[in-house]
């Protein structure tokens, strides 16, 4: 029996270059794969809601108040009322040619009230009243007037706003004669409100053009409001919404960086896209005469608030 050396399992295998292979594999194992994209974001969510109103635009030196809008319109009304009509023209036709509406007349005569509160004026005139006042009272008078019957003029004071409204509608040639109804009166009043809205839209766009610093000032002010109490993004997933009761928006502010991650909502419409002046519909949504003048109804008719 002879002593034989055990045969190595590596016998016959060429080991040249194996060291380099082991080094290469070891180096690749030292690189840790990046699995960060697979991790769950454990940060809390923070939703920053910013609500702005007319004080925002006023702070940026924009003459956006209803009082600034109505003052020159009232001046036109005074001039027309005081002027002689040598060519046979009537006051109502002159008022309409000047772009004025029945709502200008109503607001012009609201002594003792907040005369530039358009929404308050609409609500006051359109809400049902007992005894009948404002539109409810004029509805009864128009039924007599447009059917050729006499009405008791003592129902209205000589210089009352109701009497001025009666004159405007009777002399205005709005086609209510002969087939008058409350529905037709409501349509007329709503059309007059649309004319007022369009006039305010034109006015406010002009004010933006005349206030060159408005876009920069509005951007800076909005950014300052947004950043107040905004948490660190390392700790929170942040979302941002801006709810604006103004008619100005990203276009007027030149907010090019507003993207889909920021929800900017103009609750009452936006300039050049249809603005809404209406009343609170609480408790009035079942009243067919008042419903078309409510903000809720008007917003839904337009397809809802304007986003981004």
Angle at 139 between CA 133 and CA 141, to 5 degrees: 90
Q: Which of 2-16, 21-35, 66-80, 231-245 has the highest mean pLDDT?
A: 66-80
For 189-233, the pLDDT digits (tens) are 999 999 999 999 999 999 999 999 999 999 999 989 988 878 887
Note the pLDDT of residue 51: 94
Note the pLDDT of residue 237: 82
| Lowest-pLDDT range of 94-98, 143-147, 160-164, 260-264 | 260-264
Token look-up 């059309």 returns 191
Span 109-138, mean pLDDT? 79
pLDDT tops 70 at residue 104: yes
pLDDT tops 80 at residue 285: yes
pLDDT tops 70 at residue 3: no
Please tell me the number of Cα atoms within 13 Å of 218 on its side-chain side: 26
Note the pLDDT of residue 16: 58
Please give the Cα distance from 71 to 65 (Å, whole number). 10
| Lowest-pLDDT range of 105-119, 163-177, 203-217 | 105-119
Contact 204, 137 (CB under 8 A): no
pLDDT tops 70 at residue 274: yes
| Lowest-pLDDT range of 52-66, 175-189, 200-214, 258-272 | 258-272
| pLDDT band with cut points at 50, 70 and 90 for residue 168 | very high
More confidently predicted of 151 and 76: 76
Note the pLDDT of residue 33: 64
| pLDDT band with cut points at 50, 70 and 90 for residue 156 | confident
More confidently predicted of 110 and 54: 54
The mean predicted confidence, pLDDT, of the chain is 83
The residues near 155 (Cβ < 8 Å, ≥ 6 apart) are 137, 141
Span 82-92, mean pLDDT? 70
Span 3-22, mean pLDDT? 57
Whole-model pTM: value is 0.80
The residues near 13 (Cβ < 8 Å, ≥ 6 apart) are none
Span 90-100, mean pLDDT? 91
- Structural tokens at position 275: 């603005």
| Lowest-pLDDT range of 38-47, 60-69, 280-289 | 38-47
For 16-40, the pLDDT digits (tens) are 555 565 555 555 555 666 655 555 6
């Amino acid at each position: 029996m002879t002593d034989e050396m055990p045969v190595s399992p590596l016998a016959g295998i060429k080991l040249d270059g194996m060291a380099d292979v082991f080094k290469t594999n070891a180096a690749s194992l030292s690189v840790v794969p990046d699995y960060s994209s697979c991790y769950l974001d454990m940060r809390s969510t923070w939703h920053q809601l910013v609500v702005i109103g007319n004080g925002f635009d006023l702070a940026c030196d924009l003459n956006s108040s209803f009082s600034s809008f109505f003052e020159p319109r009232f001046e036109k009304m005074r001039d027309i009322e005081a002027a002689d009509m040598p060519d046979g023209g009537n006051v109502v036709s002159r008022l309409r040619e000047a772009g004025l509406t029945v709502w200008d007349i109503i607001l012009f005569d609201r002594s003792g009230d907040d005369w530039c509160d358009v929404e308050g004026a609409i609500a006051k005139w359109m809400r049902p009243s007992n005894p009948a006042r404002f539109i409810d009272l004029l509805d009864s008078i128009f039924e007599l007037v447009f059917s050729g019957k006499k009405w008791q003029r003592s129902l209205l004071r000589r210089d009352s706003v109701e009497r001025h409204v009666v004159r405007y509608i009777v002399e205005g040639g709005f086609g209510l004669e002969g087939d008058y109804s409350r529905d037709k009166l409501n349509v007329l009043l709503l059309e007059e409100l649309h004319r007022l809205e369009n006039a305010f839209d034109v006015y406010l766009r002009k004010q933006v053009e005349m206030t060159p610093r408005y876009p920069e000032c509005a951007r800076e002010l909005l950014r300052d409001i947004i950043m107040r109490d905004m948490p660190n993004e390392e700790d929170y997933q942040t979302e941002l919404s801006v709810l604006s009761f103004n008619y100005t928006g990203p276009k007027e502010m030149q907010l090019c960086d507003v993207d889909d991650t920021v929800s900017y909502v103009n609750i009452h419409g936006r300039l050049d896209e249809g603005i809404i002046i209406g009343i609170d519909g609480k408790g009035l949504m079942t009243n067919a005469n008042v419903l078309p003048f409510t903000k809720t109804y008007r917003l839904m008719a337009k397809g809802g608030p304007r986003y981004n």
